[in-house]
């Protein structure tokens, strides 16, 4: 039984199971004999922080529609933004017709903006298969606060700031790390 066989509903038209996913044992493809496995990827605190940073960059520069990953990804987890795209929270800019796979530029989608502002929730896990193909979603619905603060020391209020200037400074500060206890 695969994780998708346990789907309890749909989220954005894709199978979703409310239970937290378990890593299943890989099965062999009947056609090519390659192992096929579904991997759960959690919406991490660094992903959520980068969404907040991308939101603030757009607020600070409203004339720009997209930003290069190096402008907002201070942790160096650049590959994670491809996973965030599977939730529909960001959109990747085109490569401009060159040979490169992508331009490295991203923009926050409307659902991503709503997520950052705390207006919507998403499933906690995305299920990916071979070549990072979207297979479904799993886990409880979570909001930005849960993604930032659950088992972490990041605080949504500090990242967003009471006023625009404070939030921008905190969100874009390269030295910003987990809050000391």
pLDDT tens for 21-74 read 766 677 777 788 777 777 888 898 888 888 988 898 888 889 998 998 888 777
> Tokens in use for 1?
């039984």
Task: Give residue 104's pLDDT band: very low, low, confident or very high (50, 70, 90).
Answer: confident
Is residue 159 within 8 Å of 172, Cβ to Cβ? no
8-12, 138-142, 165-169 — most confident range: 138-142
pLDDT of 181 higher than 60: no
Is residue 45 within 8 Å of 126, Cβ to Cβ? no
The domain limits of the chain are 3-172
Provide mean pLDDT across the span 169-176.
45
Task: Give residue 129's pLDDT band: very low, low, confident or very high (50, 70, 90).
Answer: confident
Q: In whole angstroms, give the CA distance from residue 167 to residue 163.
A: 6
Digit-coded pLDDT (tens) for 73-103: 776 666 677 889 999 999 988 655 454 566 7
């Amino acid at each position: 039984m695969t994780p998708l066989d346990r789907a309890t509903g749909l989220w954005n038209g894709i199978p979703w199971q409310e239970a937290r996913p378990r890593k299943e044992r890989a099965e062999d493809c009947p056609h090519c004999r390659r192992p096929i496995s579904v991997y759960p990827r959690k919406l991490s605190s660094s992903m959520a922080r980068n969404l907040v940073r991308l939101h603030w960059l757009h607020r600070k520069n409203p004339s720009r529609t997209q930003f290069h990953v190096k402008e907002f990804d201070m942790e160096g987890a650049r590959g994670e933004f491809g996973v965030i795209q599977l939730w529909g929270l960001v959109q990747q800019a085109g490569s401009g017709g060159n040979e490169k796979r992508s331009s490295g530029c991203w923009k926050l989608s409307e659902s991503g903006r709503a997520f950052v502002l705390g207006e919507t929730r998403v499933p906690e896990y995305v299920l990916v298969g071979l070549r990072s193909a979207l297979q479904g979603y799993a886990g409880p619905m979570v909001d930005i606060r849960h993604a930032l603060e659950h088992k972490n020391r990041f605080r949504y209020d500090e990242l967003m700031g009471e006023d625009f200037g404070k939030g921008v400074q905190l969100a874009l500060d390269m030295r910003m790390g987990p809050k000391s206890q």
